[in-house]
Amino acid sequence: MAKIKVYSTPTCPYCVMAKNFLKQKKVEFEDVDVSKDRNAAMEMIDKSGQMGVPVLDIGGKVIIGFNTPEIEAALKAKR
């Protein structure tokens, strides 16, 4: 399975939804709190061109926001 990073903040409801979605799918991921890690925030902005969260990196496929069809497609493509 592809390496998955979820760039998020603790106060973002869509971040919680995205992480819960991955947990329901029994998918392992690294949760990166960009509110506490400036380098990770810059990495997220470099990858996505966005300052908003969540941003998911699924094996190099960058998904902005909690977009279930895109997340599902990326997960299937990376198995």
Q: Where are the domains of the chain?
A: 4-77
Q: What are phi and psi of 38, to 5 degrees?
A: -60, -40
What pLDDT was estimated at residue 77? 87
Please give the chain's pLDDT, 79 residues, in tens.
558 999 999 999 999 999 999 999 999 999 999 999 999 999 999 999 999 999 999 999 999 999 999 999 999 987 6
Count of CA atoms in the C-beta half-sphere (13 A) of 17:
11
Rg (CA), the chain: 11
What pLDDT was estimated at residue 68? 96
What pLDDT was estimated at residue 78? 75
DSSP string covering 43-71: HHHHHHS--SS-EEEETTEEEES--HHHH
What pLDDT was estimated at residue 34? 97
Q: Any idea which fold 4-77 has?
A: Glutaredoxin (3.40.30)
